[in-house]
Amino acid sequence: MRRQLKRGFTLIEVLVTLVILTFGLLGIAGLMAKGQRIAFEAFQRQQAVALASDMAERIRGNRLLASVCPPGPACTTYTAGAPIITPLGTGAFYNDYRTGAIKDCATQVCTIQELAMYDIGLWDGLLNGYSEQQSGTGNRIGGIVNARGCIEETSNTSLTCPPPPAPASLFSRTLRITVAWQGNDDTSAPAGSNCGVGLYGVDTKRRIVTYDTLVQQPCP
- Kindly state the helix (H) or strand (E) to which residue 214 belongs, with its residue range: strand 206-218
Domain membership flag for residue 99? yes
Q: What is the pLDDT of residue 1?
A: 44
Q: What is the pLDDT of residue 92?
A: 93
Domain membership flag for residue 206? yes
Name the domain count of the chain: 1
CA atoms within 13 A on the CB side of 19: 6
Domain membership flag for residue 152? yes
Domain membership flag for residue 8? no
Domain membership flag for residue 13? no
Question: Is residue 103 helix, strand or coil?
Answer: coil
| 137-159 tens-digit pLDDT | 555 556 788 999 999 999 999 99
| 2-47 tens-digit pLDDT | 455 455 557 777 777 788 878 777 777 766 666 677 778 888 999 9
Domain membership flag for residue 26? no
Q: What is the pLDDT of residue 23?
A: 76
Cα dihedral 30/32/33/35 (nearest 10)? 120
Instruction: Tell me which residue of 151, 138, 219, 147 sits closest to 183, measured CA to CA.
Output: 147
CA Rg value for the chain:
27
Q: What is the pLDDT of residue 17?
A: 77
Domain membership flag for residue 4? no
Tell me: pLDDT of 76 over 80: yes
Tell me: pLDDT of 128 over 60: yes
